[in-house]
Structure 1
Amino acid sequence: MNFMNGKSLGRQIQKNKHDTEVKLHSYAFLTAEELFSHLSTTQAGLTSEEAENRQAEFGKNVITVGNKNTLLHRLREAVVNPFNLILLLIAIITYFTDVVASSRPDYLTVIIILSLVLLSSLVAFIQSQRSNAAAEKLSKMISNKADAWRDGKLTEIPMDEIVPGDIVRLSAGDMLPADVRFLTTKDTFVAQAALTGESNPVEKFSDIRNNQYDGLTDLGNIGFMGSNIVSGSATAMVLATGNSTYFGSMAKSLSGDRAKTSFERGVDSVSGLLVRMMLVMVPIVFLINGLAKSDWAGALLFAISIAVGLTPEMLPVIMTSTLAKGAVSMSKHKVIVRTLGAIQTFGEMDVLCTDKTGTLTEDKIVLEKYMNLHGEDDTRILRHAYLNSYFQTGLKNLIDLAIINRAVQNGLQTMPAAYNLVDEIPFDFSRRRMSVVLTDKSGKRQLITKGAVEEIIAISSFVEMSGRVMPMDEESRRLALATYEKYNADGLRMIAVAQKNEVPGSGAFSVADERDMVLIGFVGFLDPPKESARAAITALREHGMRTVVLTGDSEGVAVKVCGKVGVNTSRLLTGRDIEQMDDAALLDAITSCDLFAKLSPSQKERVVRAFQTAGHTVGYMGDGINDAPPLRQADVGISVDSAVDIAKETADIILLKKDLMVLEEGVIEGRRTFGNIIKYIKMAASGNFGNMISVIAASIFLPFLPMLPVQILTQNLLCDLSQMGIPFDSVDKEYIRKPRKWETQSIKSFMAFLGPLSSVFDIVCFAVMWWAIGANTVELSPLFQCGWFVFGTVSQVLVIHMIRTAKLPFLQSTPSIPLFLSTFVVAVVALATGFTDFAIGLDMHRLPLVLIPWLAIILAGYLLCVQLAKKVYVRRYGEWM
């Protein structure tokens, strides 16, 4: 049946994909007038009322795969789990033995078991609801926006509110909010590797004639959700949104499980170990009790109950609630987690690769100098740079805005009115320059280019000095480079400006026209270091994290800024150096180099990969189009809320403030979250191992069961409830001083070390109940069971406080109030149950008060031995948690 359902689902996916392709293909060949008519829209876009009506018809512009996040699904997950299924099985068997087959029907045990099912399900469901609410609240804080024409004006709206028929404006760095038909394009290059695997961006056009017939993604005038604008600009009409897009039609087939993190693999390995222990234990306990006591039905129920007791069924609840609590805490430090699983990787990070601009600097670029090749102030250089920045239609970065602001201050704002834009050759990260072609009122045509100094010099055949244009020779080249290097060494970010008048009279312009240029001068910018950067880098270093700067800027500026903020500048590698290194040489270089300058996006990605190969957990922080490749490559991608769409979409962590100090606070919270999860796992592993030894010993030597199934299950649930405060617990400062990786061997060592210690004191408890209290006959077994129930519950609750810290609990390290309350309440409930008539409800006898001193002595001895064992363990293994 499942196989047929799978085939049916596969056919449905293929049909949806085919229908989407046919629809988009038909749109690609409509004329503009037919397209506007078909989607009932105009060049001025939709009205707000039309948009609301269409959203009601087509739904939100989001892709949904399955419905795992519905209220019903979360409720089903909370109720239907192995723990509850075993409880219900025991309830059914107990109903037949205690009610149907009994001369005196007893409903109490059945009621208690069903109450346990209800209580555990309620706890799991409430935690799931809280986690989901936290995740939704955080995701709303970082929603991407799109520029669409609404009510005749360009409006910024959330991407999920885009509807078919919207007219959107796109520029470099923008994600395509939906499937679109391009209406106008200007050197529009789109990266659609997520759909096609093509590494190179594809140029898009508005003309039907540029359409290819090889496949849907080859259509030159169609853009797809999931791709992004690399350079240029465009206007486009939205054709399809959400699941109706080409990406949405493939989403189900593409939605395989993502690769698991080291943390998830570690949790799986420990869970697998506990399950294997349980599978070995259950048949052994069943056979021992069945043969020794000749009650095979009781032995089976007991063995099944032991299996439940050994299963860390609260692990998903503890993990989810701890991660959700961590995400909310991090948001208070202006750090937004896009995926909860990234929190642990964030805390594990030991190398932070970061761009320079805005992270180490104020991100307030000011134009300081505009100079000719001799280094003299020259307003003519500012005028040419202003025309280039003003007329470019792509993304205006901080450099462009600084040029425009300075030109306005100098009274040049009326200057662009004398020119018309003919064409432009947009910026890209391989050329590192951009050009505009202008005509003035007299018809004179001029090409103006600005960009990286080396790139502009490389395409210049002439220089302009003292008002004369002359061929560039070795002397003039040296003069230009000397001027550049002088100011660059002073910390100015230098951009070269060139122009030429011999420009073709017609036709499209391309990179081929950027040759034989006339180098006329430089503009220099100042982006001062942040005052907080040095303190932040020092704090990161104290927490075991190395800061490495990967920048596209020149060496001089990079060295100047990094030197001021405390980054090691004793060795510097440039993009050219990286290009000449093989992987082995680069792997050797990263051990001593913290500053890489003049890098391309692919080189940044390669450096990140090298650190990962060396065994580091690498974070990358960036906010531009050129940062997308290293953001994808890094173990944890970090961006900022003001970043371009593609950087935000690629990142795992979003900072609401572009500051390394914010990052450092988030890292600490990530480590705190990881620490609380490890506490639970080590408690569960060691406690279960100890219980296994105790149960086997009791099964061999006792003539009755050491505890009945209902008592084991009640104890198990009480211990789980006592641990519900762990997500809110504090973590010792010593623990968060260094990155923490998941180490399965550490958990196994912890389990083998502490597990048998708890068994020793369980056996001491058995001895006290047998000889001191006299519960040594089958008739008095309910008294014996009550004694071990109380001791087992209280000891497991109190040992939480011993395990949670390497220090002396309460005196040197205090637990959080939620954890203290959860453990205190459960301990009181356990004692109240054992020493009052509540014990009868669990088929036990009320304990005599004479047991209280014995309990106190055994518990004190157990806790003292755990504290002593802690010191031995730390001396042997170097750490506790």
Structure 2
Amino acid sequence: MKTKYTAPLQKKNETEQTLRSLAFMNLPDLFSQLESGENGLTSTQADARLDKFGENTINTGKHDTVLRRLYSAIINPFNVVLLIIAAITFFTDVIYATRPDYLTVSIILLLVGVSSGVSFIQGERSNSAAAKLSEIISNKADVLRDGKQLEIEMKDVVPGDIVYLAAGDMLPADLRFLSTKDTFVAQSALTGESNPVEKYSQLQNTQDDALTDLTNIGFMGSNIVSGSASGIALSTGNSTYIGSMAKSLSGDRAKNSFERGVDSVSSLLVRLMFVMVPIVFMINGFTKKDWGGALLFAISIAVGLMPEMLPVIMTSTLAKGAVSMSKQKVIVKTLGAIQTFGEMDILCTDKTGTLTEDKIVLEKYMDVQGNDDKRILRHAYLNSYFQTGLKNLIDVAIINRATTYQMDEVLASYHRIDEIPFDFSRRRMSVVLEDKEGKRQLITKGAVEEILGICTFAEIGGKVVPFDDQNRAIAKEVYESHNAEGLRMIGIAQKNEVPDEHSFSVADESEMVLIGFVGFLDPPKESAATAIAALKEHGVRTVVLTGDSEGVAIKVCQKVGINSEKVLTGADVEGMNDARLEHAARSCDLFAKLSPAQKERVVRIFQGAGHTVGYMGDGINDAPPLHQADVGISVDSAVDIAKETADIILLEKDLMVLEHGVLEGRRTFGNIVKYIKMAASGNFGNMISVIVASIFLPFLPMLPVQILAQNLLCDFSQMGIPFDNVDPEYLKAPRKWETGSIKSFMLYMGPLSSIFDILCFAIMWWIIGASTKDTAPLFQCGWFVFGTVSQVLVIHMIRTAKLPFIESRPAKALLISTLLVAILALAVAFSPMAIALDMHALPLRFAPWLALLLVAYCLSTQLLKKIFTKRTGQWL
């Protein structure tokens, strides 16, 4: 007796064994095993199974719980260093001290707590926003419930469901095919095979064949490339084949150029730290003869030099960008895509449904000679109505126009015998119909070139004649003249010599009779021309990659403002090597009659030439270029595989949101670069200052607790950066990661800050009189307040290439965060609160000198800004 299918399996080998046994089982036993049947499940059964098996989703076993996220926020390299310092300080200041002092330990732990808390809160906000946004987008599946075909969310599919599939659909579960028609499935995610494989309802394998080679089994995560099928769900969620491999498939994705750039700067700072910190340790050890204190000081300096706020700033800025874009009805699936959006300098886009309206209008139905003929519309209607695959906009337009002529009355006279589904290599599809008298006919519609290629006869003047060169020339002239006017032309052919008993295939699409054409208007979107002009103004070139013919594509491009003087077709692309294509693509903004593979190749060619490429599309043929592009953009009404592949989903096809996305990406990038340049230059300058102070001073320029407190205050002041304004001039051009620019910035700004640090040392030493070990707390207080306030002020100097506050105003959040920190630092330094940090309160006579130093530092920074911009051509 067979074991009932009762619980999700956890091990891959068990999953394989189960799928293999179900693949070789006869249908009655299969239905019995799954407690289902040809009519699928009832709603009651489906609800019970959903409770039993859970939602049809895959997880890796590591649940992203609140506790796990809190742990990740606390345990990171920066906090680990701080905790080590806290442990050392606890031994030196508490356990082995004659008078226990908990202040330093408390401040260090406070620093860890604040850093972790900010990171955790920002992460939670980001997760919450992402979760709400992801709920808006959902892939659907067609299933048979209660004997009726319903559309449900993919997560609600359960074992035993009968599923209907068409081109563009993702397989919602591991399933066994019950019926197939020219069904080709892309399962490269599982097998690595680039070519789609054909699936059948009848098993054509032996027990020795690999599981993924079984012809009657489809796997969750694959998608239908062409044809249609039905199947019964065998397993869902983690019980699927891909679910059993979830852990191995959930590795980190490759880092993009921005992340690599951040890593390179962080790596630079860490390398500098590892070189300079030992030098600081050795100098202070030899000069101060206090090796323990020198070690603690060196470690504290190391912490102060680490860009510990970088993860928080990046997460906050990207999350803010995602939420801002969601208000424009743009859903960001991958946060990093926001920055790539801003970096994009070429937007490749399909034409239909992206530059044009979703509503194609049928304008013409004509015979081979170009005369209006409703009979042509009637044949097109029968083809579109009876085909069971993906009904596209052309089918909808044909059906709508035919219905206005009451042609739906003829449907009762026909029934469908078979069909040959559409695919992108043939670019046509056929149906086999039979009327009440038993007469059969095959009706084919498709791209004109493809239809002409399968016709050996034509119907002219009511007579079927050979499709010789003369008649072919007549047909081409009619097609080309209307195509040049901007009509999207589709050829219609038929034949009556159809076998009675036959399984129809592509081979039957031969010796056809060309009967005429239907022509469509594909009106451009109202927002297309404005959006393309706006993108061009911001340095983004729009390139059209379409499968349509040149005539229609040229007309649309002319209306929306895309240069169409030069056109490359799929045949042209195929005949060029990569070098020639790259040269030709420099001046070509319109590629027509492209296959999906050719679209992908053009995107890759642009990337190879150093461009950051976005691709916008919504069809099955757009999946390869969407995957290849640096940022994939689709719409919520797209086919499943397009939505799954894209990084960004538009809930409305208003192209103006693309401009908003580009600007948001550049704004995001700008704010992150502000922080990185501040951190790089500030840290480099601090290294120089500490080394100089360590050589010449008989005491430490600042105690570890003071360094950490200053670090904490500066971190607070930078919390407003993600919300800061970015100058309009900065947003005009695409922004790419340039590590060289950051290094140059660091080499300019770092030494400048060190010069003013040394001036502060001189004032404290000779004017204030803090020149002995006894007055060290006073000296340390002077550098503490200058270092803190100057780092706060320099945020405003660095954040813009213009004159701060006057020509460029910061966001309120940044103004408030910096102002509060500056006031707090001054309050600590000039009051008894300084004692809490082992410092002496500064005399008021230091205030004018502090003001003079800060003003001189700001003026010098503004002057250096002009010099740097003149030499390098940019500031940020």
TM-score for both structures, normalised by structure 1: 0.97
Partner of 2:382: 387
The runs of 4+ residues in structure 1 deviating greater than 6 Å are none
The yes-or-no answer on 1:320 pairing with 2:315 is yes
Partner of 1:56: 51
Counterpart contact for 2:353–2:618, Cα < 8 Å: no
Counterpart AA for 2:556: V
- Please show how residues 698-777 of structure 1 align to structure 2 within 5 Å: 698-777=693-772
- Please show how residues 486-565 of structure 1 align to structure 2 within 5 Å: 486-565=481-560
Cα deviation, 1:299-346, whole Å, max 9, x if unaligned, reads: 000000000001111111111111111111111122211111111211
- Please show how residues 69-80 of structure 1 align to structure 2 within 5 Å: 69-80=64-75
Counterpart contact for 1:232–1:393, Cα < 8 Å: no
CA distance in 2, matches of 1:402, 1:565: 23
The yes-or-no answer on 1:602 pairing with 2:597 is yes
Q: Offset of 1:538 from its aligned partner? A: 0.8
Partner of 1:4: none
After superposing the two structures, state which structure 1 stretch, 176-185 or 758-767, moved more: 176-185
Partner of 2:96: 101
Partner of 2:788: 793
* Pairing partner for 1:479 from 474, 479, 489: 474
Q: Offset of 1:480 from its aligned partner? A: 0.6
Partner of 2:654: 659
Partner of 2:213: 218
Partner of 2:674: 679
CA 1:57–1:633: 2 relative to 1, 3 Å: same
CA 1:101–1:191: 2 relative to 1, 3 Å: closer
Counterpart contact for 2:422–2:428, Cα < 8 Å: yes
Counterpart contact for 2:10–2:239, Cα < 8 Å: no
Q: Offset of 1:105 from its aligned partner? A: 2.6
Partner of 1:405: 400
* Pairing partner for 1:120 from 102, 115, 124: 115
What's the secondary structure of 2:14's corresponding residue?
helix
What's the secondary structure of 2:429's corresponding residue?
strand
Counterpart contact for 1:790–1:831, Cα < 8 Å: yes
CA distance in 2, matches of 1:752, 1:108: 36
CA distance in 2, matches of 1:184, 1:212: 22
Counterpart contact for 2:582–2:606, Cα < 8 Å: yes
Partner of 1:90: 85
What's the secondary structure of 1:357's corresponding residue?
coil
Counterpart contact for 1:212–1:220, Cα < 8 Å: no
Percent identity, aligned pairs only, is 73
CA distance in 2, matches of 1:211, 1:440: 41
What's the secondary structure of 2:245's corresponding residue?
helix
What's the secondary structure of 1:414's corresponding residue?
helix
CA 1:195–1:101: 2 relative to 1, 3 Å: closer
Cα deviation, 1:104-146, whole Å, max 9, x if unaligned, reads: 3322332232222222221121111111112212211222121
CA distance in 2, matches of 1:109, 1:201: 64
Q: Offset of 1:89 from its aligned partner? A: 2.5
Counterpart AA for 1:547: T
Q: Offset of 1:398 from its aligned partner? A: 0.5
Partner of 1:3: none
CA 1:598–1:822: 2 relative to 1, 3 Å: same
Counterpart AA for 1:97: T
Q: Offset of 1:614 from its aligned partner? A: 1.3
Cα deviation, 1:179-211, whole Å, max 9, x if unaligned, reads: 111222233221112212223322222224567
The yes-or-no answer on 1:271 pairing with 2:266 is yes
- Please show how residues 256-655 of structure 1 align to structure 2 within 5 Å: 256-655=251-650
CA distance in 2, matches of 1:839, 1:82: 30
Q: Offset of 1:662 from its aligned partner? A: 1.4
Counterpart AA for 1:805: T
What's the secondary structure of 2:805's corresponding residue?
coil
What's the secondary structure of 2:433's corresponding residue?
strand
CA distance in 2, matches of 1:664, 1:217: 43
Ranges in structure 1 where 5+ consecutive residues have no aligned partner: 1-13
Ranges in structure 2 where 5+ consecutive residues have no aligned partner: 1-8
CA distance in 2, matches of 1:499, 1:345: 49
Counterpart AA for 2:84: L
* Pairing partner for 1:877 from 862, 872, 876: 872
Counterpart contact for 2:199–2:217, Cα < 8 Å: yes
Partner of 1:42: 37
Counterpart AA for 2:415: N
CA 1:84–1:192: 2 relative to 1, 3 Å: closer
CA 1:782–1:151: 2 relative to 1, 3 Å: farther
CA distance in 2, matches of 1:244, 1:868: 65
Counterpart contact for 2:432–2:442, Cα < 8 Å: yes
Counterpart contact for 2:228–2:421, Cα < 8 Å: no
- Please show how residues 2-21 of structure 1 align to structure 2 within 5 Å: 16-21=11-16
Counterpart contact for 1:578–1:586, Cα < 8 Å: yes
CA distance in 2, matches of 1:851, 1:481: 90
The yes-or-no answer on 1:81 pairing with 2:99 is no
Cα deviation, 1:711-755, whole Å, max 9, x if unaligned, reads: 101111111111111111111111111111101000000000100
Cα deviation, 1:278-305, whole Å, max 9, x if unaligned, reads: 0011110111001001011100000000
Counting matched residue pairs gives 868
What's the secondary structure of 2:11's corresponding residue?
helix
CA 1:87–1:609: 2 relative to 1, 3 Å: closer
CA distance in 1, matches of 2:573, 2:525: 28
TM-score for both structures, normalised by structure 2: 0.97
CA distance in 1, matches of 2:206, 2:481: 51
* Pairing partner for 2:134 from 116, 134, 139: 139
CA distance in 2, matches of 1:210, 1:789: 77
CA distance in 2, matches of 1:571, 1:116: 61
CA 1:212–1:445: 2 relative to 1, 3 Å: farther
Q: Offset of 1:266 from its aligned partner? A: 0.8
Q: Offset of 1:151 from its aligned partner? A: 4.2
CA distance in 1, matches of 2:191, 2:545: 29
After superposing the two structures, state which structure 1 stretch, 33-42 or 365-374, moved more: 33-42
Q: Offset of 1:507 from its aligned partner? A: 1.7
CA distance in 1, matches of 2:197, 2:206: 12
Q: Offset of 1:656 from its aligned partner? A: 1.2
The yes-or-no answer on 1:252 pairing with 2:258 is no
Q: Offset of 1:212 from its aligned partner? A: 7.1
The yes-or-no answer on 1:694 pairing with 2:689 is yes
CA distance in 1, matches of 2:204, 2:710: 75
After superposing the two structures, state which structure 1 stretch, 297-306 or 715-724, moved more: 715-724
Q: Offset of 1:535 from its aligned partner? A: 1.1
Q: Offset of 1:258 from its aligned partner? A: 2.0
Partner of 1:165: 160
CA distance in 2, matches of 1:68, 1:724: 29
Counterpart contact for 2:626–2:632, Cα < 8 Å: yes
Counterpart AA for 1:875: K
Q: Offset of 1:247 from its aligned partner? A: 1.0
What's the secondary structure of 2:527's corresponding residue?
helix
What's the secondary structure of 2:515's corresponding residue?
strand
After superposing the two structures, state which structure 1 stretch, 263-272 or 45-54, moved more: 45-54
CA distance in 2, matches of 1:721, 1:469: 83
Cα deviation, 1:815-838, whole Å, max 9, x if unaligned, reads: 111111111111111111111221
What's the secondary structure of 1:450's corresponding residue?
strand
Cα deviation, 1:565-608, whole Å, max 9, x if unaligned, reads: 11101111111111211222111110111111111111111111
CA 1:433–1:70: 2 relative to 1, 3 Å: same
Counterpart AA for 1:481: K
Tell me the C-alpha RMSD between the 2 structures.
1.5
What's the secondary structure of 1:823's corresponding residue?
helix
